[in-house]
Structure 1
Amino acid sequence: MIKKTLLAAAFAAATSNPAQAQSDNAFGIPTEQVTNPAASVVAAPGSRGQGWLGQGRSEVLARHGIVATSDPLAAQAGLEILQQGGNAIDAAVAASAVLDVTSQNDTGLAGDLFALVWSAADQKLYALNSAGFAPAGWTPEFFKEELGLDRIPGRGVNAATVPGAISGYDALLERFGTMGFEETFERAARLAEEGWGQSERRHSDLTSQQEKLLQDPDSAAVFLNEGEVPPLYSIIRNPGLADALRLIQEQGREAFYSGAIADALVAKVQS
């Protein structure tokens, strides 16, 4: 799922702490501590399994389930859901929610969602398009007369559609899942609260986007330290995003589209 977000900026205010190394264990958990052999991790000691900058990918074997993502923390979240008895959809939502926290240059809660789901129960393939609608004010005249543009910009508030991701998560869990937001968003909320280490890939992403982050004080407050990219493996926290995730856990889909979260998004766009 590829999504673009405004939520990081709307719910932003955090500090960056001194560098701390990520776990040397695959996906952040020692293999011997995985209690459910039906969904286990098999990886070489010390492997982070990212395949970034020449790192080798770890071998992963499982009998009844497997989780593959671009971030070990997201894969771990999906694995935990499977171990708790959740199904593939529950795990996919949990993993994606973690990516919304750790990989906000690629994805986010205020973006869009697309999914293909194979249902073994009725032997059918289902497609979900949860892309947001264009704002009502987006007219050719608006872009030409108000912004002086002849096309929709590539980034910024006037490049973002109405968020569809949370509605998509809700639809997937309601139709195919066995859990709700309370369970599937827990790992993401805790990571946003407690922090996550910046891997080689994400550190490189922050470095390449530093100038853009500096243009938005809210984003800079979360991802930069006094205007500079934190050292490799530094812990980054996003308590504002954690608050949003907790609200959705408690109140469900409508917590995102009304109330404090929606007000924050609108205020950010209008600012």
Structure 2
Amino acid sequence: MDSEWIPPEVDSRRPSVARVYDFLLGGDHNYASDRDLATGLLRVEPQARELARANRAFLRRAVRAVAGAGVAQFVDIGSGIPTQGNVHEVAQSVAPDARVVYVDNDDVAVAHSRSILADDDGTAILQADMRRPADILADPEFKRLIDLSEPVAFLLVAALHLVTPDEDPAGIVARLRDVAAPGSHLVISHLTHEAQPGKTAAIGKLYDRATSPAVSRSYAEILRFFDGWELLDPGLVYVPLWRPDEGDAVDDPERYLVFGGVARLP
């Protein structure tokens, strides 16, 4: 890892969910502890890299669709370490005036984001915890870029499965819904144990060592996060099945272990 991005307070001994994901996507902003956990994950799920890429591709397709529907404000909560095809790049390719607020609590993710976004007035990175949405909504940089009287897209991609039941993930989503204007959108992807409960349980045990857990949920539990929103076609599906690009071949979608969906606030 390039030391230019590393804040001195970072604890490299404990794996970070953001840095493990970075490693699986082929990034180099990770430590030995992150690579060790990722290696264990690859033993449990040899296709973990493919699953991470599929989740990232879902994010890009969802952002394109939402921007194409006329939304020009995006809040990417649990954004992680920047990689190819970031939200502002995808959104601005459709809507050049799109504004994006990234939110993460990982020191490396925030430091790297600040370095690459420094010259982009249409973006910002907040160091905040998704478990406290009021802090996000009150941040001056959030208020500078996001006008809640207009439609906004809240992105919680591979984020809510890092929140335990005691931390009230449904309450997080409800708080965002309650401040959103009609026409706003919600994008969620989430680990599920519907098809392979043994595998997701093993993943959960591995993540007990990390900065956040990995809590898999059922289809019905994930669907409830969309209460009050109207799901767009094709609904809540395994991520490769959500509006695949032309020519994408999807075989055995259940092996991807993650459901994804996009919804609109009526």
Question: Quick one: higher RCO (CA 8 Å, sep 6+), 1 or 2?
Answer: 1
Larger radius of gyration: 1
Tell me which protein shows more strand as a share of its residues: 2
* TM-score normalized by the length of structure 2: 0.27
* TM-score normalized by the length of structure 1: 0.27
